[in-house]
Amino acid sequence: MKQKEAYDKGRKEPTYKEGDKVWARVHEPVTFGPKREGPYIILDKITKLNYRLGEIGKAKLRRHPIVNVKHIARYRAKTEEAEELTVDKVISHRETRRGPRFKVRWADGETTEEPLDSFVDVLSDGRKRWNKQLKTYAKKNGIRIQT
C-alpha cells in the first residue's frame, strides 16, 4: 500500500469536460506514421478516468469510443486564430541528449514537458527573447541559457 500512496502523492490526472477536443493515442503505430489521431470531441464523462469520444469532421473514430484518460491528450489548434497559451510556471527540468527539457504548467492548468526552444517569445518588431518564467527559473536554479 505504501507504493500506491507514494505514486498517488504527486499524481494529478487531467480532467476534460464535454465539448473539449482531444488527440487519441494510436495503439499500434507504424514506424513513420502518426502516434496519435484526431482531433476527437469529448461527448461525456463515463467515470473519473474514462471518457466517450465522438468524431469531428474527417476524423473517423477507428477505435472503441470509450477511452481511458491516459490514452488522450488535450488538442491545441495550430492556426492563427488559436488562443495564445502562456506559461504559468516552470516546475522542473532534466537534461537529455537533445538538450534540456522543462516541465511547464500552462495558464489553462495543463502540465507538459517542453524543449528549450518552446520558450522563445517573438516581439512585435521581430526580435526574439526568452520567456520571463524561464529566465526566472534559470536564475533561481543556476542554469545557463544561451541568448
Q: Give the model confidence (pLDDT) of 89-129 as tens digits.
A: 889 988 888 888 888 888 777 888 888 877 777 666 777 77
119-134 core/surface letters (b: 16 or more CB in 10 A; e: else): beeeeeeeeeeebebb
Contacts of 76 (CB under 8 A, 6+ apart): 82, 85
pLDDT at 59: 67
Cell 499524481 found at: 11
Q: Which residues of 55-68 are buried (b: 16+ CB within 10 A; e: fewer)?
A: eeeebeeeeeeebe
Which pLDDT band, with edges at 50, 70 and 90, does 81 fall under?
A: very low
The fold of the 17-74 domain, in CATH, is SH3 type barrels. (2.30.30)
Residue 70 CA from chain centroid, whole number: 12
d(CA 15, CA 112): 14
Q: What is the reported pLDDT for 44? A: 93
Domain with CATH 2.30.30.140 in the chain: 17-74
